[in-house]
Amino acid sequence: MKNFKSSIKLYFCSSIPFLLLSSTAPKLNALSQDSTTYATISIEGNNLSSSSHAQLFMRDFEYFADSRREHNENRNKVIDEKAANSGNGMYSIHFSKIYPVGLRYAEIDCYISENIAFTLPFFIEPGDSIKIIYNNGMFNFSGNKSEKYKCQHRLNQILFSSTSQRSLSKTNYIHYLDSISLLSLNVLDEYKNEISDSVFMVIKSFIIDRCQRKKNIEIISLNHYDSISKFNYKNPIWNESVSEYFKTTLIARQSIMYADFLTSQYEFDSCYSRKTRINFKNCYQYITRKLSGPAREWAILNLVQKHNLDSEDGENIEKCVKDAIKSGFVDSDSVKNILVDYCDLLIPGKKAFNFSSENIHGERVRLTDFKGKVVLLDFYCHPCGACRRNHSIIDSISKQYLHKDFVVIGIFSPSGTQNKKLWRRLVMDEVYTSQIDINLIDKAYADTFHNVASKYKVNGFPTLILINKNGRLIGSPIIPYVDNGAHLNELIHNNL
């Protein structure tokens, strides 16, 4: 948004919402209560003039599987509209025939004058016909499905207020986040009979997800300083009864964002908050109980991709994959092939891929050059805050084994226009790695057929992979900044 002297910004969905897959019944057209294929939105108010204008951005995500997407010309693009004279000296902005396919997340940026602007985020569906009246900082909504917009506007105001309380202590802030979320859920319940079931569940999921992710950051910090044991906490937002409630809903069948949240929250509760390694079998059994349909398939794939080397029991991963295919939890042939590929190549005990990459001196370096040493592959990108936090801990551990058969290989994954000049500066400044490490540059991260990261199925950064003296995979340690490197140190020590 432009720089205005004053502006109103209302953020309901500051992160990606829980969108729904429609590859299996019920189809998305069944989710809408109106068979109309388009939506309309108009903005009116006494502050609008001939210079007022607005932009509507409707997001469309590649993982929103819907066969009708290819017919939607308005997906994932900005629509600009200028104010027009609507009579009696009044002006209005009108978005006509917006074509959302099913439920979509959208934002309107409205520039009323040089000094006044506002942003409204919301979920839009076919059949929405909304008039937004803005007068002196106040909003009013009318028209078909206007209750949905009134609800989201109230939630905007509540959720936005939570950003002003970061000065609280960590424990008080966690309780404050719970109170804000409970208030939001109560407000949402007021509109339960006024909005569609799909919108109600999506918004409810978002409120819980937003609260939990913020709390998890604070809990990890408390855990890092060993203060968590003094914090007697019962979670009112996310617990077994809440997860059971979602289990029977459309969200648990079709939302991959909910599937991601469910898996991540289980990992946090059972592993990260306890500073323990993930139990792959337990996590697999949990998500197969709590999810169904395409959401479950996605969660299984995501679990294997994230934790194929995090489990100490590679045999367990293979058993879970075979069970998923046999039990019909995975229907897609492409997903089945990916899962089998992981089991064939990337579980503990398998032979590590022998890559060849360029070091800081322009020389080719191969994994086999370090036979007889325990090797830590440290994949990182730029910028990456988590990679920075890892660096100091990895460097400290590396120095403990300076004269042992251990080596750290830092592998930079460039993106976009990033080049060797940037990489060399990062190495010299020791931003993500140390100069005593073996520093390599990979091919572009987007070059998924030729880079080292793709061979090791790197899906995010940082990614750490340990390889034993015989060139076989040991696994991935707990991220060092979570447990101050304790697990990484243990794995290195046990394999020297």
Are 81 and 120 in contact by the 8 Å Cβ rule? The answer is no
CATH 1.10.8 fits 8-144, yes or no: no
- Per-residue model confidence (pLDDT) at position 19: 42
CB atoms within 10 A of CB 80: 11
Q: Quick one: which of 452, 484, 455, 489 has its CA closest to 374?
A: 489
d(CA 442, CA 450): 9
pLDDT tens per residue, range 303-362: 887 776 765 556 788 889 999 999 999 988 888 888 888 777 777 888 999 999 999 999
Which tokens is 274 given?
């306890």
Residue 214: both structure tokens together: 């913020």
- In this structure, of 225-229, 344-348, 366-370, the range with the lowest mean pLDDT score is 225-229
At residue 457, does pLDDT exceed 70?
yes
CB atoms within 10 A of CB 406: 21
Sheet containing strand 104-111, edge to edge, reads 8-9, 117-124, 104-111, 53-58, 78-82
What are the tens digits of pLDDT across the range 388-427? 999 999 999 999 998 899 999 999 999 878 889 999 999 9
* Nearest-5° Cα angle at 161, 160 to 162: 90
Pairing status of strand 84-87 against strand 90-98: antiparallel
CA 124/CA 88 separation, integer angstroms: 30
Return the pLDDT at 218: 82
What is the pLDDT, as a whole number, of residue 317? 82
Provide the pLDDT for residue 93.
94
pLDDT of 407:
96
CATH number for the region 356-495 comes to: 3.40.30.10
pLDDT band at 275 (very low <50, low <70, confident <90, very high): low
With a cut of 90, say whether residue 151 has pLDDT above it. yes
How many other CB atoms sit within 10 Å of the CB of residue 332? 14
Rg of the chain on CA atoms, in Å:
25
The closest of 447, 431, 435 to 387, measured between CA atoms, is: 431
Mean pLDDT of the chain: 82
Three-state secondary structure call for residue 145? coil
Highest mean pLDDT (candidates 246-250, 284-288, 483-487) = 284-288
Take residue 121 and report the two structure tokens written for it. Answer: 């985020």
Higher-pLDDT residue of 433, 228: 433
